Amino acid sequence: MLDRRPRLVFRPIDIPDLVAGVRSASELDLPIAVRGGGHSVAGHAMPDGGFVIDLSRWRSAMVDPERQVAEAQGGCLLMDLDVATSAHGLAAPSGTFLDTGIGGLTLGGGISHIVASEGFACDALTGAQLVTADGRIVEVDDATQPDLLWALRGGGGNFGIVTRFRYRLTRIGPMYAGGLVFRGATADVLARLFTLDRDAPDALVLKANVWSEVDGSPIAKVNVAWRGEHDAGEAAIKELTSHPALVEANLRPMSWLQLQALNTPWPHGLR
């Protein structure tokens, strides 16, 4: 997709190292890009001739189960955060692919399997530590820097390098999830899905992909995530599972971590 050559890729060890890197980029007059999980298909983390700050060494996530808060380093992938939180029966609303970076995902919004009940990943962001373009270290929260926190919640990587994210967590129990495949009658399936989604409780999150087979016949794949026990989940989606165009159903009870691992990572470098 992209064929870019940065001038330099810098993997800082700690904050002083990172600050020194930012100052060097400024002295060399090179544009800085931050690489979190590297999932930006637009290539925002990999500018031609730029100074890439790669946070792949910064993947530690700590949880305070009493306060239901997680502190995660800026280079964490979803899997780092999910493994740390789920050990305490907690979750952050993050995303659906475990090798996505929490950095780009949170700063850009972040849509997860519990988006209807918990909002976007950026809604759960309660604080951050930033290194700014002039090398300053800034602690951000609602009390000290409300405008900056507001900007980080969806404003992208434009305000500094986030070295640490702080999230409000939610208690998470059993999930009932998987996929439904429909062949033909996809317009009717989507109409049912929209009605169901409009009236459903926030425990239900539905996502649909629609495409044509090689022979031109339409296919709809609906991803289902129900936050709760499986019998209530089955009842919540019976309008879809009773549709005559259903050809495949792959739904089962699972833990939050199993659901997060359902989408296996795509190998990097495919074109």
Ligand X SMILES: Cc1cc2nc3c(=O)[nH]c(=O)nc-3n(C[C@H](O)[C@H](O)[C@H](O)COP(=O)(O)OP(=O)(O)OC[C@H]3O[C@@H](n4cnc5c(N)ncnc54)[C@H](O)[C@@H]3O)c2cc1C
Residues in the site for ligand X, rule: CB under 6 A? 33-41, 44-45, 55, 74, 95-97, 100-101, 103-105, 107-111, 156-157, 161-162, 266
CB of 262 to ligand X, least distance (A): 11
Nearer Cβ to ligand X (35/153): 35
> C-beta of 244: minimal distance to ligand X in Å?
30
Cβ–Cβ < 8 Å for 176, 228: yes
Considering the complex, state which of residue 39 and residue 166 has its C-beta at the smaller distance from ligand X.
Answer: 39
**Nearest CA among 48, 113, 49, 40 for reference residue 82:** 113
Residue type, 14: D
Chain centroid to Cα 18, Å, comes to 24
Q: How far apart are CA 166 and CA 62, in angstroms?
A: 10
Strands (E), 3-110: 8-10, 32-35, 51-54, 61-64, 69-73, 90-91
Query: Based on CB atoms, which residue is closest to ligand X, 112 or 186?
Result: 112
Angle at the Cα of 99 from the Cα atoms of 181 and 42, rounded to 5 degrees: 90
Alpha carbons 85 and 148: distance in angstroms, whole number: 26
Minimum CB–partner distance for residue 184 and ligand X (Å) = 28
H or E segment to which residue 240 belongs: helix 238-241
* Least distance in angstroms from the C-beta of 34 to ligand X: 4
Q: How many CB atoms lie within 10 A of CB 248?
A: 11
Q: Min. distance of Cβ 80 from ligand X in angstroms?
A: 12
Q: How far is the CB of 92 from ligand X (least distance, A)?
A: 12
* Shortest distance in whole angstroms from residue 197 CB to ligand X: 17
Shortest Å distance, C-beta 166 to ligand X = 13
Q: Are 72 and 167 in contact (CB under 8 A)?
A: yes
Cβ contacts of 63 within 8 Å, gap of 6 or more: 69, 70, 84, 85, 87, 88, 90, 169
CA dist., res. 73 & res. 103, Å (int): 9
CA quadruple 149, 155, 159, 165: dihedral sign: positive
